[in-house]
Structure 1
Amino acid sequence: MAPLPTLFVSHGSPMLALQDSPARRFLQELGRSLPRPQAIVVVSAHWESANGPAVSLAPQPETIHDFGGFPRALFEMRYPAPGAPEAAERAAALLEAAQIPVGRSPQRGLDHGAWVPLRLMYPDADIPVAQLSVVRGAGPAAHERIGRALAALREEGVLVLASGSLTHNLYEFRGQHIDAPVPHWVGEFEAWMKARLESRDHDALLDYRRAAPFAVENHPTDEHLLPLFVALGAAGPGAQARQLHSSFEHGVLAMDAYAFQ
């Protein structure tokens, strides 16, 4: 089996699970375009842990509705995929071998950063899934190191799926329509990220908060971009980034997706 790519997807608003958009249609096609993984490890921006990453060992993860103010239909959705405790323990062992401390959660379910894109990519919910957290207060370099430790998973049929958002400033969201105009500060940041990823400008990417235009405006806090660095690291040294999708929702949410291989 050829090594799987690692993926970064932007999960946007929870309404992605219900509302038609180019990003939703892209994710519905994405699963069919990939080799079928034996298991999936999802790195979600919506699970933060302290002092190091954590893995979920839940044998049957619950669907977590970690949001409010949305239609009832969204709260009724479930993603009943089996857990992947063996893949989670393998990830933990790889991290510990790299001297990265790991927490273990016996019952952590799938938050919407995980189940919303998975429900679109793999609607049959028949591939085992485990979650991996991002680390509160740790930056891009630390998350790339986490990814590098996980690189062997690609050779073992495990898909590393990083779920965040290329831009994520909810202070500017303001209930805008899904087709609202894209402010220049969002478009310029998105274009900068694409150029640096495709040119493998590693140093600039790790220093994006100082180097990128309008970085802090697009990420007042950076937990939604950190999964990208895990995917980048897990693809291995010299990996090439390939943009799979680009669109915008509600003006301020860039819905970019990348494969690294």
Structure 2
Amino acid sequence: MLPSFFIAHGAPLLAIEDNEYTQFLNHLGKQLPRPKAIVLFSAHWESPVQKVSAVDNYSTIYDFGGFPEALYTIQYPARGSKEVSKEIEKLFVEHGVPYEVDKERGLDHGAWVVLRLLYPEADIPVISMSVNPKLSPVEQYKIGKSISKLREKDILIIGSGGTVHNLGALKMGNGIGQIDDWALDFDLWLERQLNNWDLESLFNYQSSAPSSSLAVPPYGNEHFIPIFYAMGAADDHQKAALVHRSYRYGNLSHSVWQFGGKM
């Protein structure tokens, strides 16, 4: 059975960079058993009701500005899977999760940057999923849990976001390896709770975690919450493993968490 993952998508520049993190994701894609399909919850697709994509062929969305022209020429022509989308719909009905089907939206950079680094050939079907920052962590976890059976069918479930993501605090002159204390403190707290699968503390991270208002600012929690969807998808085997962590710009985390045991 495949594990689920929380994967930081960092800045869009990762799509054209060669560094420690991009090399790790390249290797991870080769190391994982080849999935039948990929279900990805992206921080850059917010909706008040859970969205399930049912797209034949995805367009590539450039939901960013001010970056090198090379980024705007990248294509990630992934196809969808109506079969897997229907399976997700069925599971949502069984577990009482309200949802809507989307037949038009392409892949935002929270999805295609990660997917292109993992599977550059774009030859694995993708089902794109929205996130809802206004739901409680309990409800976000429940949505992930409701589709956990997909992992038994060799379907890879990913939450794409960032454990520490505060654009207002970035230090653009800082490279890899320079880490603000507050960012590291938050991630180390998170590591302890994830290793213990301490849902009570995690669900109350805003009051429990050090520097939570900096690491997960009130206007930017959409990047943190995909971790709850990914955790919920591994509720049947409550085991977490940090498989990569690095930083850019002083505090932008490149964390990758694996949930659900060994590959």
Structure 1 residue 174 displacement after superposition: 4.6
> Is contact 2:39-2:158 (8 Å) kept?
yes
Q: In the alignment, is residue 256 of structure 1 matched against residue 255 of structure 2?
A: yes
Give 1:13's match in structure 2, choosing from 8, 11, 14: 11
Query: Once the 2 structures are TM-superposed, how far is the Cα of residue 62 of structure 1 from its aligned partner?
Result: 0.6
Counterpart-to-counterpart distance in 2, 1:158 and 1:238: 16
Q: Which position in structure 1 is the counterpart of 2:235?
A: 236
Q: Deviations over 1:104-161 (max 9, x none)?
A: 1111111101100110100111000110100141131111000110111101121101
Alpha-carbon distance in structure 1 between the residues aligned to 2:202 and 2:28: 25
- The runs of at least 4 consecutive aligned structure 1 residues that moved more than 2 Å come to 174-181
Task: Look up the equivalent residue of 1:19 and give its one-letter code.
Answer: E
Secondary structure of 1:245's aligned partner: strand
- 2:99 aligned residue (86, 102, 105): 102
Counterpart secondary structure, 2:105: coil
Range with bigger deviation, 244-253 or 80-89: 80-89
* 1:62 pairs with one of 59, 64, 77: 59
In 1, the alpha carbon distance for the partners of 2:226 and 2:209 equals 18
Where do residues 17-166 of structure 1 align in structure 2 (5 Å cutoff)?
A: 17-50=15-48, 52-166=49-163
Partners of 2:84 and 2:93 lie apart in 1 by 14
C-alpha distance in 2, partners of 1:110/1:102? 19
CA distance in 2, matches of 1:237, 1:144: 12
SS of 1:256's equivalent? strand
- When normalised by structure 2's length, the TM-score is 0.95
Q: Give the TM-score, by structure 1 length.
A: 0.96
Task: String of CA shifts for 1:191-240, please: whole Å, max 9, x gaps.
Answer: 11111111221211111111100111111131111111111001124420
Counterpart contact for 2:133–2:221, Cα < 8 Å: no
- Structure 1 unaligned segments of length 5 or more: list them: none
Contact 1:139 1:226 in 2 (8 A): no
Does the 8 A contact of 1:167 with 1:218 survive in 2? Answer: yes
Closer, same or farther in 2 for the Cα pair 1:180/1:235, shift >3 Å?
closer
Deviation at 1:180, TM superposition (A): 6.6
Alpha-carbon shift at residue 38 of structure 1 (Å): 0.5
In structure 2, what residue type is equivalent to 1:79? Y
Q: How far is 1:21 from its partner?
A: 2.2
Match of 1:195, SS state, is helix
Deviation at 1:20, TM superposition (A): 2.4
